[in-house]
Amino acid sequence: DTEVTQTPKHLVMGMTNKKSLKCEQHMGHRAMYWYKQKAKKPPELMFVYSYEKLSINESVPSRFSPECPNSSLLNLHLHALQPEDSALYLCASSRDYLRIRTATNEKLFFGSGTQLSVL
């Protein structure tokens, strides 16, 4: 199984809603990532979890709250979002993050993303 599964595929929410994006992998990877991608732009890193601990927060606003309940799951909780937060949210995983000396550890596997629209 070399898949990263993201749900839902599409999400429309109002600015007062609370919603969550979910990501799951069963490859035994210990690093998981959230990226945000606007149309025709490259992905931008938001968060990195390594061994279920938050390793990197790229100065993301607190209305985005990540959670890693176990080594297979990664959530992104959304609250009081703005219309400019509308984007494709991508989850990714890799075998490791801190020890990246080998190509095996480094290769990123991406999910298909959640297309988020904030009204």
Partner 1 sequence: KQEVTQIPAALSVPEGENLVLNCSFTDSAIYNLQWFRQDPGKGLTSLLLIQSSQREQTSGRLNASLDKSSGRSTLYIAASQPGDSATYLCAVRYGRGGTASKLTFGTGTRLQVTL
Angle at CA of residue 75, ends 30 and 86, nearest 5°: 125
Binding region for partner 1 (CB under 8 A) out of 13-21, 60-68, 75-83, 103-111: 103-111
Bridge partner residues of 84 (DSSP): none
Q: Which of 42, 53, 62, 83 binds partner 1 (CB under 8 A)?
A: 42
The answer to whether 116 and 88 have CB atoms below 8 angstroms apart is yes
Beta bridge partners of 73: 24, 70
With CB under 8 A as the contact rule, the residue among 32, 48, 81, 116 that binds partner 1 is 48
Looking at this protein, which amino acid is placed at residue 13?
A: M
Q: In this chain, which of 43, 64, 66, 78 binds partner 1, going by CB under 8 A? A: 43
Chain residues binding partner 1 by CB under 8 A are 4, 6, 41-43, 45, 48, 56, 58, 88, 90, 92, 100, 103, 106-113, 115
